[in-house]
Structure 1
Amino acid sequence: MQKLTPRFIGPYQILKRDGNVAYQIALHRSLSNLHSVFHVSQLRNYIFDPSHVIESNKVQIKENLAFETLLLRIEDQKTKELRGKTISLIKVFWGGATGESATWEVQSQMCDSYP
């Protein structure tokens, strides 16, 4: 199990520098709906490690630039006080092409989405 989910895909070749803080990247055809110029804050210098590479063809990107994740399991529950209200939260583990990740979700919203 991975502790952190991958947040970057690639590596990709930098085609050119566009101003002081942006770079144009050579994207794969499956990512053609993305703009190819990225701010430096969205890029990371990468030292190659085969265990880190996520094949871009495994990530199915939808028209709205989202990708599908599946609910794997619920592992924990807690309540949180927020502005005088008590909110029930559950820790949900998600899976998909990018690996496994965990988030805290509002229990009532999860019950509505996943009856």
Structure 2
Amino acid sequence: MKDTVTVIKKRLIAAQDRQRKYADLARKDVKFKIGEVVLLKVSPWKGLTRFGKKGKLAPRYIRPFEILNQVGKLAYELALSPQYQHVYNVFHVSFIKKYNPDANHLIEIEPVEIQVDLSYEEQHVQKLDRQERILRNKSVSLVKVLWRDPKVKEATWELESEMRNRYPQLFS
């Protein structure tokens, strides 16, 4: 009986050593300096959204934050923005990634006029194409219009009569 227990213990220790060896190969000692800018990993748990990000297509890391303080060997205190005031601001190094600033990361924000009902109107840029669609017993005139949305530029086919009424300057 004692022999089997010692054999089991030795095998458990051997398995733990083997797993530790493989884990140590992938482990990197990451050190950050106070004042350095880092990205924060968003790890959504099932049914829980702490940072407003959820789903497969949500980003893995969110905006750059500055390191305020080192707490222990493996934790850092971050300067979170006021929108994340409900989140505790100390994170383990596994949730932090070094931020390499890039000129492509700068996003120009265009002002958007928002109505009282929290909607906005897309602005047309130009008329691209005109087309006649023949249905069973009538024909419909369509116009392809390029829109300037705050986020994307897209072109859609619209009824020519509606576009003439709404945007007469497009047809002048």
Normalising by structure 2, what TM-score?
A: 0.36
Q: Larger % of helix: which?
A: 2
Paired residues in the alignment total 86
Query: What aligned pairs does 1:12-23 form with structure 2 within 5 A after superposition?
Result: 17=47
Aligned residue among 57, 65, 73 for 1:45: 57
How big is each residue's C-alpha offset from its partner over 1:57-78, in whole Å with a ceiling of 9 and x where there is no partner?
A: 8666544443331110001010
Aligned residue among 69, 89, 109 for 2:142: 89
Q: Which has the higher contact order (CA 8 A, sep 6+)?
A: 1
Q: Can you give the 5+ residue segments of structure 2 that lack an aligned partner in the other structure?
A: 1-41, 61-101
Larger radius of gyration: 2
Normalising by structure 1, what TM-score?
A: 0.51
Cα pair 1:78 1:89 within 8 Å, conserved: yes
Relative to structure 1, the CA distance from residue 24 to residue 86 in structure 2 (aligned partners, 3 Å threshold; closer, same or farther) is: farther
Relative to structure 1, the CA distance from residue 112 to residue 57 in structure 2 (aligned partners, 3 Å threshold; closer, same or farther) is: closer
User: Partners in 1 of 2:109 and 2:131 — Cα distance?
Assistant: 36
- The yes-or-no answer on 1:78 pairing with 2:121 is no
User: Partners in 2 of 1:15 and 1:85 — Cα distance?
Assistant: 55
- The yes-or-no answer on 1:26 pairing with 2:38 is no
Cα pair 2:110 2:150 within 8 Å, conserved: no
What is the CA-CA distance between 1:45 and the residue it aligns to? Answer: 1.6
Aligned residue among 97, 102, 110 for 2:155: 102
Q: Larger % of strand: which?
A: 1
Query: Which residue is 1:5 aligned to?
Result: none
Query: Which residue is 2:86 aligned to?
Result: none
